[in-house]
Structure 1
Amino acid sequence: MKITDLAVLFILIVGPFLWLSSVHSQDRLEAQHLSSRYTAALRTAVQDGGTQLNDNELQMYEAGYASAKYFRANRDKALDTMLHTLYLNFGIGEDASAQRAFMNYIPVVVVLDYDGYYIYQSSEYTGEDREPLTDYRWSPKKPFAYADKQGNVIHFTLDRYVTVFDAAVGKWMSGPLEEVSRDSNVPLLHQEDLYEAKRRTVIVQAIEQDLEGTISRHNVYTVRLGMNYHFTLPSISGEDWNNTVDDIGIMVFLQGIPVGDKYYNNYALGGGRLIKRSVIQGGIDQVTGIKYYYRESCNPGYKLEEVFTSEREAAAKGYFESKVCQKAY
């Protein structure tokens, strides 16, 4: 057999496999691109929702009274904002029926409040005509609670404020950890490192257990709808859990959307903490006439001319960093 005949035979045998490999590679690239788009849309939506958590009508629910972390999380506004952004990014901003169908891919939403959390999930209830109905609803607030073997009950928060039932004296006490521990016989309150570790463990384990149960029930609901995807709790990073136990936030799970021959399964966490930035001032050194920027906490004696929100903005207006105030940074 001639060498050319062997070459032709080789191409006829190997060619289809190479073509199939090329097709699969292209499908994988498209699936990866689609997954990246979904992740970007999810993160953007959750960040938008997180910014609305601290939007309250009444001043008594704002931060700054008992604690810098105290808010009454505005879960409804956060949820509406998050879903609005998500719908827009998925191209269903004006399609109510598509939005209802899309909710099947969101097994659970969690909102972390200052002293507990809420679960947004599909719930069954009985209608006016006693017919079984299913809709998405918020659970009652679930506290970050722990009970020890002596019958003491501790309600944790996102900071050091604590509410305790002291079984030895039979009464409830609330306040900063430092104050309550002086009047309480609860052992955990007198071991600061152990207290903080237990606080974090209790919050994480409570949410994880609720997530697993909620996602399991969502599987039962979606099977009735004919979906063949099995929802599971994805692995949540330690960094996200650390953020969860430190600030109010919203956590959203998006799963089961086909991407190539696989399914999208991810989550995102958006925080609602307010962070006050230092004001950047711009002034003129009256001796040299040179313009400098510096934080308001530093007073170099320059003549104040402008106020900025960042060093970059000040530099763009021709101000130089003040050497006098560098230590204050």
Structure 2
Amino acid sequence: MKITNLVIIFVVVLIPFLYMNTNKVNTQRLTSELEIRYNGAVDTAVRDAAKSLKININQNKEAQYESRKKVNVNVSEGITSFWHTMFLNFDAQNDKVTQGVLKQYVPAIVFIGYDGYYLYTIDKYKNPDSQTESKHLLQPKKPYAYVDQFNNSLSFTLDDFVTAYDSSSKTWHYGKRAEIALDCPTIPLLQDAEAFERIRKSTIVNSLQGDLQYYINYYNEHAKRYGIAYTFTLPTINQEEWNNTIDDVGVLAFVQGMPMGNTTYNHYAFGGSRLIKRSTIKAAIEKRTGLKYYFKDTCANIFTKNEYEVQETYGSEKEAAEAGYHPLSCINPALIIKK
């Protein structure tokens, strides 16, 4: 057989494989682009919802001096803002059918308040005709409650303020842990700052996880009735992310099972309400060297546009560092901070 014939046969055999490989690569690329778009839409919706939590008609419910985290959250505004941004980003602001479909892929939203949290998820209710229906409903506020081995009851907050019931004296106490510890010697947890902080965080996280697991499992029953074959589950969230989530008032939303090419879209997003103004971190590239640096926005005027080109804005130095940027000193721009 001539060499040319062998080459022709080889090319004929190879072409289908090349086509399938190219098609697979293109599909993966399109899926990745779609995932980035969806992530942006969900993240933006959560951030907008978190910002809306601080909208209060009653000024007396705004943040009080005793705690920077003590804020009355406006959950109804948060819900309205979340759906408004979701529908806008998915081009469904005027399409009730698409809106209904989108809602089926949101098994739960958590609104984290100062002294308790609200779950917004599918639940049954009676319509005006006394018929049972299911839709997203806001569950009653649940406190961050804890009972120790001596039947002492504590209601935690997002900081060290606590409401404690002393079972031995049958009295209630409210205030910072260190302040009421002297009045409650029979409540061991109030006497140990480190143990108090550890139990406080674990109580809040465990309560959130337990309720989310319950309602997401319940949501699977609802989803089957609407022809959604996907099994909704509580995603694995590491301890550091949970601790960051419960550090301040905010919103945690889950979007799962949405068709995306040959796979399904699964994402969860957290947004803080930004009730306390914090310095943001500017990430920039030095034009002369191409090196990546970050600095606080409060000293951004030190770095002229001729020398640095801002690329990103981060909420913390850790985020900027993880993205490959190096710190710059605001006092001396030429000095790289050594850690």
Please state which band the TM-score falls in when normalised by the shorter chain: 0.7 to 0.9
* 1:130 CA drift (Å): 2.7
Counterpart residue number, 2:212: 211
Q: Structure 1 residues 275, 65: CA separation in 2 closer, same or farther (over 3 Å shift)?
A: closer
SS at match of 1:206: helix
* 1:257 CA drift (Å): 1.2
Q: Does 1:254 align with 2:243?
A: no
User: What is the identity percentage for the equivalent residue pairs of Structure 1 and Structure 2?
Assistant: 37
Counterpart residue number, 2:76: 76
Q: Structure 1 residues 234, 26: CA separation in 2 closer, same or farther (over 3 Å shift)?
A: same
Counterpart residue number, 2:179: 179
Q: Summarize deviations over 1:252-277 as a string: whole Å, max 9, x none.
A: 11111111211000011010142246
SS at match of 1:28: helix
Question: Given residue 93 of structure 2, which amino acid in structure 1 is its aligned partner?
Answer: G
Q: Summarize deviations over 1:32-90 as a string: whole Å, max 9, x none.
A: 10000000111111111111111211122111233111011111101211211111111
Counterpart residue number, 1:240: 241
Counterpart residue number, 1:265: 266
Q: Summarize deviations over 1:83-130 as a string: whole Å, max 9, x none.
A: 111111111011122212210010000000000100001111222333
Contact 1:110/1:251 (<8 A) preserved: yes
Q: Summarize deviations over 1:196-220 as a string: whole Å, max 9, x none.
A: 0110111111101111111111111
**Computing the radius of gyration over CA atoms, which structure comes out larger, 1 or 2?**
1
Contact 1:110/1:118 (<8 A) preserved: yes
Contact 1:240/1:269 (<8 A) preserved: no
Counterpart residue number, 1:298: none
Counterpart residue number, 2:195: 194
Question: Given residue 49 of structure 2, which amino acid in structure 1 is its aligned partner?
Answer: G
Q: Which runs of 5+ in 1 are unaligned?
A: 279-308, 324-329
Contact 1:49/1:250 (<8 A) preserved: yes
* 1:310 CA drift (Å): 4.9
For 2:54 and 2:23, how far apart are their aligned partners in 1? 48
For 1:253 and 1:66, how far apart are their aligned partners in 2? 33
SS at match of 1:69: coil
Contact 1:69/1:273 (<8 A) preserved: no
**Superposed CA RMSD:** 2.0
For 2:137 and 2:190, how far apart are their aligned partners in 1? 36
Question: Given residue 168 of structure 2, which amino acid in structure 1 is its aligned partner?
Answer: A
Counterpart residue number, 1:287: none
Contact 1:92/1:98 (<8 A) preserved: yes
For 2:256 and 2:200, how far apart are their aligned partners in 1? 30
Paired residues for 1:121-132 under 5 Å: 121-132=121-132
Moved over 3 A (4+): 309-316
For 1:115 and 1:310, how far apart are their aligned partners in 2? 32
SS at match of 1:105: coil
Contact 2:68/2:276 (<8 A) preserved: no
Question: Given residue 28 of structure 1, which amino acid in structure 2 is its aligned partner?
Answer: Q
Counterpart residue number, 1:6: 6
Counterpart residue number, 2:116: 116
Q: Summarize deviations over 1:4-44 as a string: whole Å, max 9, x none.
A: 11112222222212211111111011001000000011111
SS at match of 2:168: coil
Deviates more, 1:81-90 or 1:63-72: 63-72
SS at match of 2:221: helix
Q: Which runs of 5+ in 2 are unaligned?
A: 280-296, 305-329, 333-339
Paired residues for 1:83-98 under 5 Å: 83-98=83-98
For 2:20 and 2:303, how far apart are their aligned partners in 1? 56
* 1:138 CA drift (Å): 0.6
Q: Structure 1 residues 310, 188: CA separation in 2 closer, same or farther (over 3 Å shift)?
A: closer
Counterpart residue number, 1:327: none
* 1:191 CA drift (Å): 0.7
SS at match of 1:233: coil
* 1:165 CA drift (Å): 1.2
Counterpart residue number, 1:30: 30
Deviates more, 1:18-27 or 1:30-39: 18-27
> Normalization by structure 1: what TM-score?
0.83
* 1:235 CA drift (Å): 2.0
Question: Given residue 207 of structure 2, which amino acid in structure 1 is its aligned partner?
Answer: A
Question: Given residue 119 of structure 2, which amino acid in structure 1 is its aligned partner?
Answer: I
Question: Given residue 165 of structure 2, which amino acid in structure 1 is its aligned partner?
Answer: F
> Normalization by structure 2: what TM-score?
0.81
For 2:301 and 2:80, how far apart are their aligned partners in 1? 33
* 1:312 CA drift (Å): 4.0
Residues paired across the two proteins, number:
289
Question: Given residue 251 of structure 2, which amino acid in structure 1 is its aligned partner?
Answer: I
* 1:238 CA drift (Å): 3.6
Contact 1:45/1:81 (<8 A) preserved: yes
For 2:238 and 2:300, how far apart are their aligned partners in 1? 33
Q: Does 1:136 align with 2:119?
A: no
SS at match of 1:256: strand
